[in-house]
């Protein structure tokens, strides 16, 4: 059996490939990015046997995977947790259409917000959609579960949500591949030609079918190999450990054996029989889960009048932040090992834009042009340029979610703060800025939109841009040509750029400025790759 050393993300991709997936679609976002990146390096992708691609946003990625499933093949979509908000419409509706070929939705949650704007827990989305949720506890399970999710999806004819969190997504371990690598499904259209037509008449029927399936969905979880009882003789405490929390638990025991009975959860809905056994046989219950108190809330119920349930809600575990072995040790009253102290030579410093970053020149020009106006009118977005909120730039006044800069700037202008400015990156503009710009054009709002075009998706590792001609899109949605200004954000062009910013800010209508210069990191990487290629060519000749 072949063994590989894989990140949790990579294990999911390999599991999907070995399960005969036909298409993998994604939008980059930490901690999910490596799923698609691993898949695209696979032999299957390089030989064109599977489709692996970045999409404009998570919604388009979800819909494309749904299309693959409609055609009877296995489709997967991956995203970070907040991306599931963007994909929520097709995600929830895909539970109503159901799946034809297996449909796997991977959402990577980021408790502690290492690279995110909230800690939301995707398990609530799975519950909302009323579909099975799987949650791996280690890299091997990530691989096995990805494989199993497709089979489960095809047995139940519903999409399956695979939820992973940052630590598992970004840590490596040995994964044993299955001997049997599955062939792709043949093309097969849905038996029921109305299955994917969600007009009210058929949607009501489909919803009823989803409700009728709930018992079977629960039975699958009840008998799942990913839900286990691990016995322990000390029944003063019973523990529920979900996903990676089980690893954190056993890390606290040198022999890897917990003295208390444990219900290990990897497949939801929660297995009622195991939970009942634990509840009846133990004095107190401790719930260990990474993310929101999802299980704990369900166990407590609304009135919380049963046995003592410990977890995040009673403060045994802090309510916010990711779980770790030290927090688990504290909850169990065990000695806390804080890890190795950080050596003195490592100085912590706040994040900042790279030296030579094109955004620096753009912010310097914007700040100077804005000196004639009062503060608080620059609305921004998600990307490297969000760092413009910090010193020394202090150039932007909001960072909320993908695409919010343009629409919030319209709201600010509608409220009377004129002109207002939106600052958005090229990738974020394609992701969810275009529709906001259409709103601006339709209402002729006095907003200057600055689209920082660094020709890559820099923050998530430099994935290629979706387009090199943003100005064509801008013109296509109706911005007047004379108010679309492309500038080169270099220090030597500062005076000229300030002048252009001032002119467009003074214009009482929609204007767009596109500072275009490649991200220094991407440009350097490309240069190095070109040099290495030349060197390799010289050595072989």
Judged by CB under 6 A, the stretch of 158-166, 244-252, 354-362, 400-408 that binds ligand SF4 is: 354-362
Phi-psi region of 6 (alpha: psi -120 to 50; beta: other; left: phi over 0): beta
Nearer to ligand SF4, 432 or 456 (CB): 456
Judged by CB under 6 A, the stretch of 22-30, 70-78, 259-267, 517-525 that binds ligand SF4 is: 517-525
Give the separation between CA 290 and CA 166, rounded to whole angstroms: 10
x/- site string to ligand SF4, residues 384 to 403, per CB under 6 A? x-------------------
User: Out of 130, 173, 354, 490, which residue is the one contacting ligand SF4 (CB under 6 A)?
Assistant: 354
Nearer to ligand SF4, 109 or 381 (CB): 381
Measured from the Cβ of residue 422, the count of other Cβ atoms closer than 10 Å reads 31
User: Out of 364, 380, 398, 454, which residue is the one contacting ligand SF4 (CB under 6 A)?
Assistant: 454
User: Out of 240, 245, 353, 399, which residue is the one contacting ligand SF4 (CB under 6 A)?
Assistant: 353
Shortest CB 430 distance to ligand SF4, Å: 16
Judged by CB under 6 A, the stretch of 44-52, 125-133, 349-357, 500-508 that binds ligand SF4 is: 349-357
Shortest CB 484 distance to ligand SF4, Å: 22
Tokens of 241: 């450990």
Judged by CB under 6 A, the stretch of 15-23, 95-103, 364-372, 515-523 that binds ligand SF4 is: 515-523
Shortest CB 536 distance to ligand SF4, Å: 27
Contact 44, 78 (CB under 8 A): no
Nearer to ligand SF4, 18 or 453 (CB): 453
Q: Does 382 bind ligand SF4 (CB under 6 A)?
A: no
x/- site string to ligand SF4, residues 32 to 61, per CB under 6 A? ------------------------------
Residue partners of 168: CB distance under 8 A and separation at least 6: 8, 136, 137, 138, 139, 142, 243, 244
Q: Does 458 bind ligand SF4 (CB under 6 A)?
A: yes
Positive or negative, the CA dihedral 451, 464, 439, 85 is negative
Contact 206, 148 (CB under 8 A): no
Q: Does 153 bind ligand SF4 (CB under 6 A)?
A: no
Tokens of 379: 């609305």
Judged by CB under 6 A, the stretch of 25-33, 175-183, 470-478, 519-527 that binds ligand SF4 is: 519-527
Nearer to ligand SF4, 80 or 123 (CB): 80
Residue 430 is given by DSSP the state I
Nearer to ligand SF4, 140 or 521 (CB): 521
Q: Look at the block and give the residue holding tokens 């679609």.
A: 25
Judged by CB under 6 A, the stretch of 297-305, 322-330, 352-360, 493-501 that binds ligand SF4 is: 352-360
Contact 495, 368 (CB under 8 A): no
Nearer to ligand SF4, 203 or 490 (CB): 490
Name which of 105, 221, 108 is nearest 156 in CA terms: 221
Give the separation between CA 378 and CA 389, rounded to whole angstroms: 10
Q: Does 514 bind ligand SF4 (CB under 6 A)?
A: no
Give the separation between CA 462 and CA 221, rounded to whole angstroms: 39
x/- site string to ligand SF4, residues 403 to 432, per CB under 6 A? ------------------------------
Shortest CB 381 distance to ligand SF4, Å: 13
Nearer to ligand SF4, 53 or 523 (CB): 523
Give the separation between CA 33 and CA 112, rounded to whole angstroms: 18
Give the separation between CA 471 and CA 453, rounded to whole angstroms: 10
Name which of 227, 44, 73 is nearest 150 in CA terms: 73
- Site residue total, ligand SF4 (CB under 6 A): 10
Nearer to ligand SF4, 210 or 384 (CB): 384
Contact 465, 457 (CB under 8 A): yes
As to burial, measured by CB atoms within 10 angstroms (0-12 exposed, 13-18 middle, 19+ buried), residue 480 is: middle
Shortest CB 358 distance to ligand SF4, Å: 6
As to burial, measured by CB atoms within 10 angstroms (0-12 exposed, 13-18 middle, 19+ buried), residue 228 is: middle
Q: In the window 276-305, what residues touch ligand SF4 (CB under 6 A)? A: none
User: Out of 359, 410, 431, 485, which residue is the one contacting ligand SF4 (CB under 6 A)?
Assistant: 359
Q: Does 357 bind ligand SF4 (CB under 6 A)?
A: yes
Nearer to ligand SF4, 324 or 521 (CB): 521
Shortest CB 258 distance to ligand SF4, Å: 44
- Give the angle 69-72-74 at the CA atoms, nearest 5°: 55
User: Out of 21, 55, 145, 519, which residue is the one contacting ligand SF4 (CB under 6 A)?
Assistant: 519
Shortest CB 401 distance to ligand SF4, Å: 19
Buried b (16+ CB within 10 A) or exposed e, 515-538: bbbbbbbbbeeeeeeeeeeeeeee
Tokens of 297: 């809330």
Instruction: Enumerate binding residues for ligand SF4 (CB under 6 A).
Output: 353-354, 357, 359, 384, 454, 458, 519-521
């Amino acid at each position: 059996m072949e063994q590989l050393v894989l990140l949790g993300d990579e294990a999911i991709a390999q599991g999907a490939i070995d399960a005969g997936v036909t298409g993998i679609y994604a939008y980059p976002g930490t901690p999910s990015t490596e799923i698609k990146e691993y898949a695209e390096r696979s032999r299957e992708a390089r030989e064109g046997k599977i489709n692996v691609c970045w999409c404009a946003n998570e919604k388009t990625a979800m819909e494309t995977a749904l299309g693959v499933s409609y055609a009877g093949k296995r489709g997967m979509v991956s995203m970070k947790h907040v991306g599931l908000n963007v994909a929520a419409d097709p995600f929830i509706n895909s539970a109503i259409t159901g799946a034809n070929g297996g449909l796997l939705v991977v959402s990577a949650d980021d408790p502690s917000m290492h690279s995110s704007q909230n800690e939301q827990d995707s398990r609530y989305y799975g519950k909302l959609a009323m579909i099975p949720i799987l949650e791996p506890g280690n890299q091997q399970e990530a691989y096995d579960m990805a494989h199993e999710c497709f089979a489960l999806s095809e047995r139940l004819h519903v999409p399956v949500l695979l939820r992973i969190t940052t630590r598992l997504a970004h840590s490596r371990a040995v994964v044993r591949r299955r001997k049997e690598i599955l062939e792709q499904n043949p093309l097969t259209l849905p038996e029921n030609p109305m299955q994917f037509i969600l007009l009210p008449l058929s949607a009501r029927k489909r919803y009823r079918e989803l409700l009728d399936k709930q018992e079977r969905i629960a039975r699958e979880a009840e008998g799942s190999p990913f839900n286990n009882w691990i016995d322990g003789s000390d029944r003063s405490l019973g523990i529920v450990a979900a996903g990676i929390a089980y690893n954190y638990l056993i890390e606290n025991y040198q022999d890897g054996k917990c003295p208390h009975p444990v219900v290990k959860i990897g497949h939801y809905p929660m297995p009622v029989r195991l939970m009942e056994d634990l509840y009846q046989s133990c004095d107190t219950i401790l719930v260990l889960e990474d993310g929101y108190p999802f299980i704990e809330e369900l166990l407590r119920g609304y009135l919380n009048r049963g046995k003592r349930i410990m977890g995040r809600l009673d403060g045994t575990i802090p309510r916010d932040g990711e779980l770790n072995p030290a927090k688990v040790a504290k909850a169990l009253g065990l000695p806390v090992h804080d890890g190795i102290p950080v050596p003195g030579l490592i100085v912590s410093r706040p994040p900042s834009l790279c030296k030579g970053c094109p955004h620096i020149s753009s912010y310097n020009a914007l700040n100077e042009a804005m000196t004639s106006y009062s503060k608080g009118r620059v609305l921004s977005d998600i990307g490297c340029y969000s760092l413009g909120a910090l010193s020394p730039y202090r150039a932007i006044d909001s960072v909320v979610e993908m695409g919010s800069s343009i629409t919030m700037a319209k709201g600010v202008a509608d409220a009377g703060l004129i002109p207002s400015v939106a600052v958005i990156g090229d990738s974020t503009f394609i992701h969810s800025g275009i529709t906001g710009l259409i709103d601006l054009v339709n209402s002729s709002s006095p907003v200057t939109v600055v689209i920082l075009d660094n020709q890559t998706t820099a923050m998530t590792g430099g994935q290629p841009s979706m387009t090199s001609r943003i100005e064509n899109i801008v013109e296509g949605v109706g911005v007047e040509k004379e108010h679309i200004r492309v500038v080169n954000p270099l220090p030597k062009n500062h005076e000229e750029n300030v002048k252009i910013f001032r002119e467009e800010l003074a214009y009482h209508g929609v204007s767009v400025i596109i500072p275009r210069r490649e991200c220094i990191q991407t440009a350097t990487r490309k240069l190095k790759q070109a040099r290495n290629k030349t060197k390799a060519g010289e050595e072989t000749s």
